[in-house]
Amino acid sequence: MNPLLRLALMLIALIAAGGYGVHEYLHEKTAAEAKEDLLRLERTFDERIPAAREISNVQDYADEMRGLFKWYSSAIRDHDNRYPELRDHDTGWEDIQHKAKIGKIKGPEFDAYKASHDAVAEAWQALTKSGYDPVLSASSAGMHFDVWRLERQQHDGKQMLRVDFAWWGPQRKEEVDSSGGTAVHRTLVNATVQATDITLLDDKGKLYGEMHGGEPNEKIVEPDRFVDLFPSNVVLGTYWLDLFPHEAQKMNLKITGVTRTVQGHELAGSFAWAVPLKDDWKLSEGQTWEGASTETRDQDEIDGKEADASDSAPAKKQRRHR
């Protein structure tokens, strides 16, 4: 080969290699800057939301949360416009998909992950794009419990009441397990619903029935694992409730949730609402409240009082227990 030609090819190869190296360096530098910018946005959100949780007035709280999410969504759009080649914010979900593809996650487990991903993505859409407007909201112990959807849907072959919530403020911590030789980071979220109590009243304000339970049917303690930009200080969940009896007119709902700090101090939040029942949430007239049992107890017990010892025949009240 002609020596001049050989030299020219070597120079071209060196220039190409140098150009590629510069390109890779700039790409990595830009990726690092983009990652730091996103972390800054997430930190700012985490710093601002505790103040919102302290607002007990429902309307003021909703206004604050709408403003916070509006800022967050706008800041993410600005970020994406600055780094258009790095708009992929689904790395957590993509990692789950990759593990399923290579067999590290099996079918049923992947199906559960996918259901969680879809639920978080839907919640993200509702909380950011539709404007933050909870159906029910209450604060307690520095936490906020918001029901963002309460509607009738088909589930398990029948019409039921779907109750979706966002519980803001449960504590979480990161642990590192190096016992296997490789550092494995694990997020532990301490959030337990100890009691879910529903009292139903008739048109005279008298007890008609009760429903009692604990944890929701579905609970997602790490929504940011499935949608990268989802806030990290919230637990999502769903209750599926049987439709209420037609005779019931009002629902008293109380949810007791407990979280523990890193040092083990217990924080118990009690969230309560009095809600008029919509006809769409109830059975049709004449339909039986399936699964209900009938019990009797003292009226004083219902009213939260002790019976007078002089009463030889304390009043009895019939109730339905679900």
Separation of alpha carbons 205 and 102, rounded Å: 59
Cβ–Cβ < 8 Å for 168, 49: yes
Which pLDDT score, from 0 to 100, does residue 201 have?
A: 94
For tokens 């403003």, name the residue: 67
pLDDT confidence of residue 321: 41
In a domain, 100, yes or no: yes
What residues pair up with 164 in beta bridges, in sequence order? 149, 238
- pTM value is 0.80
The verdict on residue 116 lying in a domain is yes
3-state DSSP call for residue 294? strand
DSSP label at residue 282: B
- With respect to residue 58, please indicate whether it lies within any of the assigned structural domains: no
Q: How far is CA 66 from CA 22, 124, 130, 235, 284, in A?
A: 43, 13, 10, 18, 36
Neighbours of 239 (CB within 10 A): 22
| Residue 252 β-bridge partners | 199, 274
Asked if 79 and 37 count as a contact pair (C-beta separation under 8 A), the reply is yes
Q: Is residue 127 in a domain?
A: yes
**Whether 42 contacts 230, CB under 8 Å:** no
The Cα 68–Cα 48 span in angstroms is 8
Tell me which residue range forms the domain holding 122.
Answer: 88-305+314-321
| 164 closest CA partner among 143, 149, 146 | 149
| Residue 244: inside a domain | yes
Number of domains in the chain: 1
| Residue 277 lies inside a defined structural domain of this protein | yes
Q: What is the pLDDT of residue 137?
A: 95
Which pLDDT tens digits describe the chain residue by residue (322 residues)?
A: 666 666 666 666 666 556 555 445 445 667 888 888 988 999 999 999 999 988 989 999 999 999 999 999 999 999 999 988 877 788 888 899 989 989 888 889 999 999 999 999 999 988 887 778 899 999 999 899 999 999 999 999 999 999 999 999 998 877 776 666 666 667 788 899 999 999 999 999 899 999 999 999 999 999 998 998 898 889 999 999 999 999 999 999 999 999 998 788 899 999 999 999 999 999 999 888 876 677 666 656 555 544 444 444 443 333 444 3
Q: What span, in angstroms and rounded, lies between the C-alpha atoms of 191 and 115?
A: 20
Assess if residue 213 is contained within a domain.
yes
- The type of residue at 35 is K
Task: Identify whether 262 is part of a domain.
Answer: yes
For residue 229, give every residue at least 6 positions away whose Cβ sits within 8 Å of its Cβ, in sequence order, or none: 38, 42, 76, 89, 124
pLDDT of residue 185: 65
